Amino acid sequence: MEISGVNSIRGEINIPGDKSISHRAAIISALASNQINIKNFLLSQDCINTLNILKKLGVKIEKNNSNVIIHGLGIQNFIEPDDILYVGNSGTTIRLLSGVLCAAKITAVLSGDKSINNRPMDRIIFPLKDMGANIYGRNNNSKAPIIILPSYKLKGRIFNIPISSAQVKSCIILAGLFAEGVTEIIQPEVSRDHTERLLEYFGVEIKYDGKNTKVFSLFESNLKGEIKGKNLYIPGDLSSATYFIVASCILPNSSIIMKNIGINPTRSKVLDILQLMGANIEIKNKKVINNELVADIESFTSNLKAIKVDKNLIPIIIDEIPALCVASVFADGETIIEGAEELRHKESDRINSIYNEFLKAGVDIKQKKDGLIIKGNKDFKPNGGIYESYKDHRIAMSLAILGLKSNNKIRILDSECIETSFPGFLFELKKVLN
């Protein structure tokens, strides 16, 4: 991808369906016993990998553009796959499906690309083992590939998770659905609650408040082991929308509108942070769809100022931090991000990736073990040249937005990785450039 500086951006952006919700909608619909129509499903590479794995487990799936029909099979009818279940670059896929497959009474092997196979999996393997799962991983049960053998009795447990993680929590919740008794997950900070909201919408007995979640066995509830799904609409992905919000803030004479964006309270803190930095953002037409809060977002040219990001918010803004770093480059003062060591365990080591490429751009930036310090300037102009995406979609999109302020052309290597979460990103960007 090549990006040159522009005068402004103006117009309406079509933001694709939320990646986190799309994964969960597909997986939980497969566990249901009926047909479920999903509109605005994100057909990115990550979510396609989830659909392909479900097909290998015997689930019938139909696709028509962004509409997907899942013929719910119920976990008891999953078939044993005759091939490795390849998750590609998707941490959500491997972690959530591990929780499901431990209860499926089949043998399965989950593996991904080099990045996934070097991300920490002990954080799900050991809790699942504590529940009675027959699950193993490479490198002393800490890495993928993950091997799952039939487990005939899972038992609910109370888990105190040291790091707040929606993926880890969701993995345990999905296993807990098919375990005896109650499964409880206690986290130090709030994490995303899309899994809880979707299960609640489907009638599953679950209690949650952001930090603590209790899920009750399907077999011991009035559902008698069966989930009845409902048709779904996937709201636009706020993480994807954040790049365009930042672009409109840092460019002169700019305004962007995006409709039907998910503003779930465990996701929308990024908007609060940007507004604290001085971003001119308007949130309109709020409504609830499928137990998720949705709204239209309009953003405008803004005078940004630096802040210290509250480290307690890191778990619920973790995916938006690369975009926030771009905003920080053009915010007067010193922005401090701490408590974000989890960024080192994403598609790339995002702390190191941002540091290396922003330094190349001429940004005044310092790297810490758990974060970054960025000294911003609204008049800053990034250097032109060749930039490395590290095959990380969020790094690539951040560099693209950074490049809009350059006086010279920048080239982003391996930018096709953006297809992981935002197919059509470049098309949407080009149509609003001025």
- CA distances to 41, 210, 216, 396, 398 from 235, rounded to whole Å, are 9, 20, 27, 23, 22
Question: Which stretches in the chain have pLDDT values below 50?
Answer: none
Distance separating alpha carbons of residues 123 and 163, to the nearest angstrom: 9
Backbone angles phi, psi at 242, to 5 degrees: -60, -35
pLDDT at position 241, please?
A: 98
pLDDT at position 134, please?
A: 98
Composition of the chain by helix, strand, coil, percent to 5: 35, 25, 35
pLDDT at position 24, please?
A: 98
135-159 tens-digit pLDDT: 999 999 999 999 999 988 999 999 9
Tell me the DSSP string of 237-260.
-HHHHHHHHHHHHHSTT-EEEEEE
Whole-structure pTM value:
0.94
Note whether 273 and 244 are within 8 A (CB).
no
Distance separating alpha carbons of residues 300 and 88, to the nearest angstrom: 36
Note whether 108 and 56 are within 8 A (CB).
no
Tell me the DSSP string of 147-182.
EEE--S--B--EEE-SS--HHHHHHHHHHHTTSBSE
Domains of the chain as residue ranges with CATH: 2-16+235-431 (3.65.10.10), 19-233 (3.65.10.10)
Distance separating alpha carbons of residues 268 and 83, to the nearest angstrom: 39
Positive or negative, the CA dihedral 13, 301, 415, 294 is: negative
pLDDT at position 210, please?
A: 84
Residue 60 CB neighbours (<10 A): 13
In the 8-state DSSP scheme, what is residue 408?
Answer: S
Distance separating alpha carbons of residues 144 and 146, to the nearest angstrom: 5
Distance separating alpha carbons of residues 137 and 109, to the nearest angstrom: 10
82-116 tens-digit pLDDT: 999 999 999 999 999 999 999 999 999 999 999 99
pLDDT at position 253, please?
A: 97
pLDDT at position 388, please?
A: 98
Give the N- to C-terminal CA distance of the chain in Å, as an integer.
18
pLDDT at position 219, please?
A: 87
Residue linked to tokens 């996701």: 267
Active site residues: 319
- CA distances to 23, 139, 183, 220 from 214, rounded to whole Å, are 21, 31, 6, 14
Q: Which two tokens stand for residue 187?
A: 């986290």
What's the number of CA atoms in the CB half-sphere (13 Å) around residue 279? 32
Q: Which two tokens stand for residue 51?
A: 């659909």
What's the number of CA atoms in the CB half-sphere (13 Å) around residue 107? 2
Positive or negative, the CA dihedral 202, 206, 208, 213 is: negative
291-323 burial: b if 16+ Cβ within 10 Å, else e: bbbbbbbbbbbbebebbebeeebbbbbbbbbbb
